[in-house]
């Protein structure tokens, strides 16, 4: 009995300790969340500081509490594109802001359309008479596209400018699946619908290569034109056409090479850069080393608050893969977005609706739910304008169809009009370990799809016929929306991706322009004067738990951008692991027919590693980590 009494006291004590720890954690998270907001009082005379730590996105994803507690790595930070652009617009006119400083030491990248829009805003700041300065240890394609718009570019002497251009290899899994005895049963329509090729081939098809090469050439040409216009003195061609010879000619000194070729203006570490800015616009603290009077972006935005004058123009953002069901910010969940649109139409006095799309597509059923909700705005005689960001492909194009006008950037990736379905089965793999399948059927479809014994020819025919009907439905909707015949749409569809410049020529989009152009067009069609409206953003709100953990997490993730070719190699390995996990997870977790552009991954926000990969991805990781 004495032992039981002591044991009970120990259990009660542990329970009380656990409760106390949970309470401390809860109040700690609550305190962090309440103190995580920007401080408008930090706006003072000095430079607007844009710390681009992470990636630029249309809608930052909510921090998942479970992932935050169990992950061994910090998530990559996301900076909202419209926040950057609005802060630059405010900096143009705010007399307290004397200059703009871009800290890109931890900048991972962003879509080219986003970078072009930010570059235009930087040009506007310079036109207003305020200089722009950038600092980074090393510059890549994305960071240099922004830096080219600066008044003066600084680089650490230990760094360099590493320009590579788009392209490269991607993994193909047919050989691995054959070895594992797994068959990817694929049903698709479209000569160029190459999203499923990694599961059915060991190499890229000639059709896919031709289509992607054309897009790469167009996008890369726009990048070079943007950089040449923003910084005509930069001699980048030697680094692009003969990188090895050019670097060897500089004896491997990448920073001096960048300076000699006028890619940068000054070499200096962070302290030297900070002293330079402080000498021009004031020091942060007389005793600080390398500090300067800085106004954080969040503080400047909080100082002004959101616009609220005039009539309301609704803005709904469709960012990320389109999925079924409900989800928080950063996920284009069909039920969530459709519900938000319907509620806004019922409860707000919207004079127009702008749909901002930055998505490679996804679920057909979720895309259709969103399309119907947007079409409901047109049924109420509300003008609908679509603004395509970096990606509006496949399902991302599907949801754009109700628009009165579609705006896109020349570097927008769109099209990919096609659908597919994929269901894995493991009859060969199971047979290898002695598991066989047998049974009795009452109809040709009894027990189908049979993942144990393999799919029957009847099921394959039914599934392929359903996909073909879905494709006809897709091109019929496009034909009706774009005033074309189904045959005309089919000729430019077939799953092929297009850059925005070509997409406009073939009639998939109407005009070139960004978000400002779309809002102006919406106001014009609604009969509103230029100063008599404001945007109302129709977005899912973060959950309470997400807000708490978001307050506890650092504002920007501590992920370092690659600074040399060795760091680039390590970064590519991390990117490869994330890509493989995402690809194999897609194979095992896809639910329903997909209108998705998987090859568009190279053109949008860099892949983020997730901890909830499917069983096949987990198996691959175990095989990769097994001792040899």
The CB density around residue 578, as the number of other CB atoms within 10 Å, is: 17
Contacts of 557 (CB under 8 A, 6+ apart): 53, 54, 74, 75, 76, 77
Tell me, yes or no, if 480 is annotated catalytic. no
Confidence of residue 610 (pLDDT cuts 50, 70, 90): very low
pLDDT of res. 98: 96
Q: Catalytic residue, from 394, 411, 416, 425: name it.
A: 394
Which pLDDT tens digit goes with each residue over 21-73?
Answer: 666 655 555 555 445 556 665 788 999 999 999 899 999 887 665 555 555 55
In a domain, 545, yes or no: no
Q: What is the mean pLDDT of residues 488-515?
A: 95
Are 406 and 325 within one domain?
yes
Query: Do 478 and 414 sit in the same domain of this protein?
Result: yes
Answer yes or no: do 248 and 261 share one domain.
yes
* pLDDT value for 39: 62
Same domain? 352 vs 371: yes
Same-domain status, 119 and 262: yes
Task: For residue 261, give the CATH number of its domain.
Answer: 3.90.226.10
Same domain membership, residue 81 and residue 13: no
pLDDT value for 62: 74
Q: Alpha-carbon dihedral of residues 488, 490, 494, 497, nearest 10 degrees?
A: 30
Residue 74 has pLDDT above 90, yes or no: no
Count up the domains in the chain and report the number: 3
* Plot region of 287 (φ>0 → left; ψ -120 to 50 → alpha; else → beta): alpha
Q: What is the per-residue pLDDT for 613?
A: 42
Model confidence over 518-577: pLDDT tens digits?
A: 999 999 999 999 889 999 999 887 665 555 555 555 544 445 666 666 776 677 777 777
338 part of a folded domain: yes
Q: Of how many residues is the chain composed?
A: 628
Task: Kindly state the average pLDDT of the residues 79-100.
Answer: 96
Give the integer Cα–Cα distance in Å for 408 and 386: 8
**Residue 352: left if φ>0, alpha if ψ -120 to 50, beta else—which one?**
beta
Higher pLDDT, 370 or 330: 370
Measured over the CA atoms of residue 440, residue 441, residue 445 and residue 446, the dihedral's sign is: negative
What does the alpha-carbon distance between residue 154 and residue 259 come to, in Å, rounded to a whole number? 10
DSSP 8-class letter at 62: P
The residue to which tokens 């990248």 are assigned? 109
Asked if 419 and 467 count as a contact pair (C-beta separation under 8 A), the reply is yes
Q: Kindly state whether residue 549 falls inside one of the protein's structural domains.
A: no
Q: Is residue 46 part of a domain?
A: yes
pLDDT at 276 over 80: yes
Q: Give the span between the Cα atoms of 182 and 200, in whole angstroms.
A: 11
- Pick from 31-45, 417-431, 603-617 the range whose average pLDDT is largest: 417-431
- Is the model more confident about 626 or about 243? 243
- Can 378 be counted among the known catalytic residues? no
For residues 584-605, average pLDDT: 73
Taking alpha carbons only, the member of 317, 219, 212 closest to residue 598 is 212
Within 128-189, residue ranges assigned H as helices are 141-147, 174-180
Residue of higher predicted confidence among 458 and 14: 458
> pLDDT of 144-189, one tens digit each?
999 999 999 999 999 999 899 998 888 899 998 999 898 888 888 8
Within 13 Å of residue 176, how many CA atoms lie on the same side as its CB? 15
* Same-domain check for residues 414 and 269: no
523-529: list long-range contacts, CB under 8 Å, 24+ apart: 523/313, 523/351, 523/352, 525/352, 525/383, 525/385, 525/404, 526/311, 526/313, 526/351, 526/352, 526/382, 526/383, 527/351, 528/310, 528/311, 528/313, 528/351, 528/352
In a domain, 384, yes or no: yes
Bridge partners (DSSP) of residue 506 are none
Q: If pLDDT is split at 50, 70 and 90, which confidence band does 287 have?
A: low
In the prediction, which pLDDT does 380 show?
Answer: 94
Q: Could you tell me the pLDDT band of residue 111, with boundaries at 50, 70 and 90?
A: very high
- The mean pLDDT value for 254-273 works out to 96
CA 110, 112, 116, 119 torsion-angle sign: positive
Separation CA 49–CA 52 (nearest Å): 9
How confident is residue 508, by pLDDT bands cut at 50, 70 and 90?
Answer: very high
Q: What is the pLDDT of residue 583?
A: 76
Which of the 8 DSSP states describes residue 41?
A: G
Instruction: Kindly report the backbone phi and psi dihedral angles of residue 362, in degrees, each rounded to the nearest multiple of 5, phi listed first.
Output: 160, -130
Q: Is residue 197 part of a domain?
A: yes
At residue 85's C-alpha, the angle toward residues 563 and 277, to 5°, is 55
Structure-model confidence comparison of residues 427 and 575, the more confident one = 427
Q: Which pLDDT value is given to residue 625?
A: 44
Place of tokens 């920073």: 255
Question: What's the pLDDT at 600?
Answer: 76
* CA neighbor of 130 nearest in space, from 51, 33, 213, 47: 47
Q: Could you tell me if residue 554 is inside a domain? A: no
User: Are the C-beta atoms of residues 519 and 297 closer than 8 Å to each other?
Assistant: no
* pLDDT given for residue 556 in this prediction: 47
Residues 400 and 428 in one domain: yes
Range of the domain at 186: 170-222+319-531+564-628
Taken in order 256, 258, 260, 266, the sign of the CA dihedral is negative
Mean pLDDT score, 266-295: 87
* Residue 625 located in a structural domain: yes
Question: What's residue 627's pLDDT?
Answer: 44
Q: Are residues 152 and 183 in the same domain?
A: no
Pick from 334, 382, 364: which is nearest to 536 by CA?
382
Whether 192 and 494 have beta carbons less than 8 Å apart is answered as: yes
Q: How confident is the model at residue 459 (pLDDT cuts 50, 70, 90)?
A: very high
Domain end: 304, 328, 348, which one? 304
Q: Are residues 292 and 370 in the same domain?
A: no
pLDDT attached to residue 1 = 60
Pick from 270, 304, 338: which residue ends a domain?
304
Give the end of a domain, one of 304, 332, 358. 304
Average pLDDT, the chain: 85
Question: Which segments within 212-278 are labelled E, that is strand?
Answer: 266-267
Q: b vs e for 274-295, b when ≥16 Cβ sit within 10 Å of the residue's Cβ?
A: bbbbbeebbbbeeeeebbbbbb
- Do 394 and 522 lie in one domain? The reply is yes
Active-site residue identified among 193, 208, 363, 367: 193
> What does the alpha-carbon distance between residue 318 and residue 355 come to, in Å, rounded to a whole number?
7
Together in a domain, 440 and 575:
yes
């Amino acid at each position: 009995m004495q032992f039981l009494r002591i044991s009970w006291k120990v259990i009660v004590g542990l329970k009380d300790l656990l409760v106390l720890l949970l309470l401390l954690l809860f109040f700690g998270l609550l305190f962090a969340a309440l103190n995580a907001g920007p401080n408008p009082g930090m706006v003072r005379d000095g430079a607007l500081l844009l710390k681009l730590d992470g990636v630029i996105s249309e809608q930052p994803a909510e921090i998942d509490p479970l992932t935050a507690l169990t992950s061994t790595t910090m998530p990559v930070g996301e900076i909202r594109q419209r926040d950057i652009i609005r802060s630059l617009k405010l900096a143009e006119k705010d007399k307290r802001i004397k200059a703009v400083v871009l800290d890109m030491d931890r900048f991972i990248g962003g879509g080219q359309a986003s970078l072009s829009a930010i570059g235009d805003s930087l040009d506007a700041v310079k036109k207003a008479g305020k200089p722009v300065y950038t600092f980074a240890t090393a510059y890549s394609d994305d960071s240099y596209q922004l830096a080219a718009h600066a008044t003066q570019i600084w680089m650490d002497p230990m760094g360099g400018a590493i320009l590579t251009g788009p392209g490269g290899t991607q993994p193909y899994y047919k050989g691995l699946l054959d070895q594992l005895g797994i068959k990817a049963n694929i049903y698709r329509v479209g000569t160029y619908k190459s999203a499923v090729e990694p599961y059915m081939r060991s190499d890229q098809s000639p059709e896919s290569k031709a289509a992607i090469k054309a897009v790469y050439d167009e996008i890369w040409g726009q990048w070079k034109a943007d950089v040449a216009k923003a910084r005509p003195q930069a001699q980048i061609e030697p680094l692009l056409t003969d990188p090895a010879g050019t670097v060897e000619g500089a004896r491997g000194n990448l920073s001096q090479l960048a300076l000699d070729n006028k890619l940068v203006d000054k070499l200096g570490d962070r302290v030297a850069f900070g002293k330079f800015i402080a000498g021009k616009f004031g020091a942060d603290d007389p005793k600080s080393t390398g500090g300067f009077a800085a106004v954080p972006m969040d503080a400047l935005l909080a100082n002004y608050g959101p616009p609220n004058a005039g009539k309301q123009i609704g803005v709904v953002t469709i960012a990320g893969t389109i999925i079924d069901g409900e989800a928080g910010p950063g996920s284009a969940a069909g039920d969530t977005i459709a519900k938000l649109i319907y509620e806004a139409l019922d409860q707000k006095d919207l004079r127009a609706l702008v749909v901002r799309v930055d998505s490679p597509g996804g679920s057909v059923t979720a895309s259709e739910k969103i399309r119907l909700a947007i079409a409901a705005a047109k049924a109420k005689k509300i003008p609908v304008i679509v603004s395509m960001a970096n990606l509006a492909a496949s399902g991302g194009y599907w949801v754009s169809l109700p628009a009165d006008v579609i705006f896109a950037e020349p570097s927008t990736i769109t099209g990919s009009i096609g659908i597919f379905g994929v269901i894995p089965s493991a009859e060969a793999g199971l047979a290898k370990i002695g598991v066989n399948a047998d049974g009795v059927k009452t109809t040709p479809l009894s027990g189908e799809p049979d993942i144990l014994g393999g799919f029957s020819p009847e099921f394959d025919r039914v599934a392929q016929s359903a996909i073909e009907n879905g494709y006809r439905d897709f091109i019929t909707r496009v034909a009706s929306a774009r005033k074309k015949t189904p045959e005309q749409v089919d000729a430019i569809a077939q799953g092929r991706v297009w850059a925005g410049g070509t997409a406009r020529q073939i009639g998939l989009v109407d005009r070139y322009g960004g978000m400002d152009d779309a809002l102006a067009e919406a106001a014009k069609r609604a009969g509103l004067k230029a100063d008599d409206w404001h945007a109302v953003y129709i977005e899912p709100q973060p959950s309470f738990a997400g807000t708490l953990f978001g307050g506890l997490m650092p504002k920007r993730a501590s992920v370092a951008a690659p600074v040399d070719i060795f760091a680039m190699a390590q970064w590519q390995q991390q990117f490869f692991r994330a890509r493989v996990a995402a690809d194999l997870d897609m194979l095992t977790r896809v639910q329903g027919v997909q209108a998705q552009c998987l090859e568009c991954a190279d053109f949008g926000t860099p892949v983020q590693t997730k901890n909830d990969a499917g069983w096949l991805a987990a198996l691959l990781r175990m095989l990769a980590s097994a001792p040899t």
